[in-house]
Amino acid sequence: VTSAELKTIAAGDPLAGMGPAARRAFEAVSAATPQARTSALKAMAAAVRAHASAILAANAEDVAAARESGLSDAKTDRLLLDPKRLEGVAAAVDLIAAQDDPVGAEIARWARPNGLDIARVRTPIGVVAMIYESRPNVTADAAALCLRSGNAVILRGGKEAQHSNAAIHAALADGLRKAGLPEAAIQLVASPDRALVGRLLAGLDGAIDLIIPRGGKTLVARVNAEARVPVFSHEEGINHVYVHAAADPQKAVAIALNSKLRRTSVCGAAETLLIDAAVAPTLLPPIAKALVDAGCELRGDTRAREIASAMKPAIEADWDTEYLDAILSVRVVDGLDAAVAHIARHGSSHTDTIVTEDKVAAEAFLKRVDSAIVLWNASTQFADGGEFGMGAEIGIATGRLHARGPVGAEQLTTFKYVVRGTGQVRP
Amino acid sequence: VTSAELKTIAAGDPLAGMGPAARRAFEAVSAATPQARTSALKAMAAAVRAHASAILAANAEDVAAARESGLSDAKTDRLLLDPKRLEGVAAAVDLIAAQDDPVGAEIARWARPNGLDIARVRTPIGVVAMIYESRPNVTADAAALCLRSGNAVILRGGKEAQHSNAAIHAALADGLRKAGLPEAAIQLVASPDRALVGRLLAGLDGAIDLIIPRGGKTLVARVNAEARVPVFSHEEGINHVYVHAAADPQKAVAIALNSKLRRTSVCGAAETLLIDAAVAPTLLPPIAKALVDAGCELRGDTRAREIASAMKPAIEADWDTEYLDAILSVRVVDGLDAAVAHIARHGSSHTDTIVTEDKVAAEAFLKRVDSAIVLWNASTQFADGGEFGMGAEIGIATGRLHARGPVGAEQLTTFKYVVRGTGQVRP
């Protein structure tokens, strides 16, 4: 479809024609060479810089509306772009342009006794629908990662960021056009109408291969209830720091502090501290002091409060709460089994860490805790594609299939088997 | 749960208690050692042999009922067990016992500049619900593969095989018990009530992590409409043999014949022959003759019928039909682009092959045809886990995510990231 056609479509049903256009664009971007995708990504980054004043003006409009509507300061800050942040958005696209292109990479190759040569080769997934919160940088990140991996994407960002997203999308489309790839490889649902999300979740008449949701509980619940196509789940991160009886005190303080407070709004932030009864009397006071001094509210169970009295009482719901704030629930447990059982019951299979100098205990924890990311003597805040060395990511998947943990370009591919023979038939 | 509890449960709602029992059993079998799973698999194979007379008697009951109800000969044959076939069932379980256990295997491991050591490790998926046609051998295969990969399984076979399945299941449960693993790791839905399938597809109150359907169009449609949890899609196999202009004539005849007729009832069987116009006058007659001589009905487009007159006319619906029978649709195409376009429009992304001596054309076909399995100069009937060297399989997945192609033990696992540190916190 041409720009003009896209505009005509946008005038009526905001989704009309988007599915078929995405499928045709997918054929083009998946068949393009890695070099062509790289060129397009570089052109997109350049276009974001070239469109800076339009993007910042659109963002100012969104921010003004957000302030007027009483959006929280934290959310308004996520929405806000300034020249430095916008350069960060463009630089992230440049970094994705510099990443290896995963399409066509051989994951495995082996020969059979009959001479068949079998290769497992990465291929794009297809058309991805990305439904996300009001963070304009996600618009560029998601679009760039989908293009890097040969997919077409339909973006549906939060309504508070609608003008910013439209302006960023215009820049990205400009980049695609300059690089000779179809603009429909990156489409944006311009209307803030929430009913449209339902049609994306239903698969847009078979056009969508994968839904990637990123947002709060309301979105997650809706996706779970309505999605008719595969989803990369993105549940909350109820993450635990478990301070084992053999923990190094300094590591325990540092890891608890960093896991909770480095950034409280990220899904890799810890929400509960578990500490062995054997060391709680000596280790909990310094950990609690460090957290409280840094501005954290603590909510403890009875045993924790007997040791460190500055805590509010934790109620049952605290163990199941993702605060995303400077609040930490604290429970004293009787050893590894109790810690693992608590995490199995209350965790969200996202990211959990054990602090211990006991290798056997550590390996037992790493084996038994069934989360996407399990750590030993390291902060939960390492739950991040960049920190894993995977390049950019568009979220942490908490589902059990295909992608778990950070979702980068490689996780946005699937594979096929390529079998080369010399005339073999099956007996 | 104990045997007695399972029996109590079975007396009322046939699914009552199955979900929680499966989850508890999953914890036990996933935490068990590979050796424990191997011992259980060997015990299961032995128990199938020890229960042979009970299984054959139950099967005779099913077969008699099938003949009485007028089930087709082909389907009745799939249902039928005799001592030799039953030994094959037990031997397949033994082979799975001899396979590498995938749980805990490191897929990748790397170090980060900050010293973090990151490993990607295979873990079981969880509770699998397997919904399948009336083939008693699938009961044992699916149960064994799920156990090999540390999963718990809920089996729901076709009602025509219900007595056979119950008898095989009793043997498998006996094997689990003797090996000290929970019987609930392999549960069978004993009731033939189809409404129960709906509750499995809804996830049985969050107990089910994955649905594996295996069956005809009615089941596939129902799964697509009702499944609320991840599914390994198992669509039909509308597979193509494309005879390119540079095909070797002997390979073309052999591959067309084998792809269609080696077994017509398997999903890897070819359903359509595409042949380049440039070679159709010389190559189509011998290919058609070989097929017709072997008992195959041909349905050709106008151009094919002008060349080989023994064909019935193909109608539009033929290109979208999985015959699973000795019928082949035949179309003359104008080169690679036309063949790829036909497959994109009518194929089911399952298995497609090109016959050619032209490497460039072959590689273009392998790259551009977006099917789970693409072959060059080999029969489509190689679409099989055993032929791929993957050991046993329980089907060919046609979805785009997680598992594509043959589904064996490895495809029944997921992974987690295990991160080992020395006190690292994130700046």
SS (H, E, C) B300-368: ECHHHHHHCCCCEECCHHHHHCCCCCCEEEEEEECCHHHHHHHHHHHCCCCEEEEECCCHHHHHHHHHH
Which chain A residues touch B420 with a CB distance below 8 Å? 362, 366, 375-378
Question: Which value, to the nearest 10 degrees, does the dihedral of the CA atoms of residues B351, B396, B263, A418 take?
Answer: 30
Per-residue DSSP letter, A406: E
- In the structure encoding, which two tokens stand for residue A172, read together? 């990205």
Report residue B3's pLDDT band, with 50, 70 and 90 as the boundaries. Answer: low
pLDDT at A5 over 80: no
pLDDT at B195 over 70: yes
| pLDDT digits 0-9 by tens, A360-384 | 999 999 999 999 999 999 999 999 9
Neighbours of B310 (CB within 10 A): 13
CA distance B125 to chain A (A): 6
Question: Which H or E run includes A41?
Answer: helix A34-50
- In the structure encoding, which two tokens stand for residue A295, read together? 């501005």
pLDDT at B261 over 60: yes
Q: How far apart are CA B204 and CA B214, in angstroms?
A: 19
Neighbours of A112 (CB within 10 A): 15
Q: How many helices (H) and strands (E) does chain B have?
A: 15, 16
B414 and A405 in contact by Cβ < 8 A? no
Give the pLDDT of residue B194: 87
Rounded to the nearest angstrom, the gap between the alpha carbon of residue A236 and the centroid of all alpha carbons in its chain is: 11
pLDDT at A218 over 90: no
pLDDT at A79 over 80: yes
Which residue, among B283, B291, B296, has the nearest Cα to B357 in the 3D structure? B283
> Could you tell me where the beta strands, DSSP code E, fall in A291-368?
297-300, 312-313, 327-333, 351-355
Give the pLDDT of residue A233: 84
Per-residue DSSP letter, A320: G
Give the pLDDT of residue B127: 98
The label of the residue with tokens 């800076």 reads A52
Per-residue DSSP letter, A230: -
Interface of B with A in 268-287 (CB under 8 A): none
Neighbours of A73 (CB within 10 A): 9
Distances (CA, A) of A220 to A226, A236, A396, B210: 10, 9, 13, 19
> Could you tell me where the beta strands, DSSP code E, fall in A174-326?
186-188, 210-214, 239-243, 270-276, 297-300, 312-313
Reported pTM: 0.92
Which chain B residues touch A371 with a CB distance below 8 Å? 416
CA distance A403 to chain B (A): 8
The predicted model gives B335-359 an average pLDDT of 97
3-state secondary structure of A346: helix
Q: How high is the mean pLDDT of chain B? A: 94
pLDDT at B384 over 70: yes
- In the structure encoding, which two tokens stand for residue B371, read together? 């099917």
Beta-carbon-side half-sphere exposure of residue B394 (alpha carbons within 13 Å): 37
The predicted model gives A337-362 an average pLDDT of 97
The predicted model gives B135-152 an average pLDDT of 96
- Amino acid, res. B224: N
The predicted model gives A64-89 an average pLDDT of 94
pLDDT at B417 over 70: yes
Of B31, B389, B423, the CB nearest to A248: B423
| pLDDT digits 0-9 by tens, A236-270 | 899 999 999 999 999 999 999 999 999 998 899 99
Which chain B residues touch A230 with a CB distance below 8 Å? 230, 399-401
The predicted model gives A91-106 an average pLDDT of 96
Give the pLDDT of residue B81: 97
- In the structure encoding, which two tokens stand for residue A296, read together? 């954290």
3-state secondary structure of A280: helix
Q: How far apart are CA B194 and CA A308, in angstroms?
A: 57
Long-range contacts for A358-361 (Cβ within 8 Å, ≥24 apart)?
Answer: A358/A244, A358/A245, A358/A246, A361/A244, A361/A245, A361/A246, A361/A336
The predicted model gives A117-140 an average pLDDT of 95
Which residues are CB-neighbours of B312 under 8 A, at least 6 positions away?
B297, B298, B299, B300
B402 touches chain A (CB under 8 A): yes
Q: Which of A4-18, A306-320, B403-417 has the lowest mean pLDDT?
A: A4-18
- In the structure encoding, which two tokens stand for residue A221, read together? 């619940």
Report residue A3's pLDDT band, with 50, 70 and 90 as the boundaries. Answer: low
The label of the residue with tokens 């589904």 reads B407
Which residues are CB-neighbours of A127 under 8 A, at least 6 positions away?
A19, A22, A23, A26, A151, A152, A153, A154, A207, A208, A209, A210
B307 touches chain A (CB under 8 A): no
Is-contact A424 B388, C-beta < 8 A? no
Which residue of chain A has the CA closest to B416?
A: A372
The label of the residue with tokens 């300059």 reads A178
| Diameter over CA atoms, chain B | 78
pLDDT at A10 over 70: no
Cβ pairs A/B, distance under 8 A: 185
Give the pLDDT of residue B274: 98
pLDDT at A140 over 90: yes
Which residue, among B349, B392, B357, B394, has the nearest Cα to B374 in the 3D structure? B349
Of B362, B400, B426, the CB nearest to A387: B426
A414 touches chain B (CB under 8 A): yes
| pLDDT digits 0-9 by tens, B284-327 | 999 999 999 999 999 999 999 999 978 999 999 999 999 999 99
Rounded to the nearest angstrom, the gap between the alpha carbon of residue A26 and the centroid of all alpha carbons in its chain is: 22
Give the pLDDT of residue B215: 84
Which residue, among A112, A370, A307, A171, has the nearest Cα to B389 in the 3D structure? A112
Give the pLDDT of residue A392: 86
Give the pLDDT of residue B392: 86
DSSP string of A58-126?
A: HHHHHHHHHHHTT--HHHHHHH---HHHHHHHHHHHHHHHHSPP-TT-EEEEEE-TTS-EEEEEEEE--
CA distance A394 to chain B (A): 17
Which chain A residues touch B379 with a CB distance below 8 Å? 424-426
Give the pLDDT of residue A246: 98
Interface test with A, best of B242, B417, B418 (most A CBs within 10 A): B417
- Amino acid, res. A198: G
Interface of B with A in 15-54 (CB under 8 A): 30-31
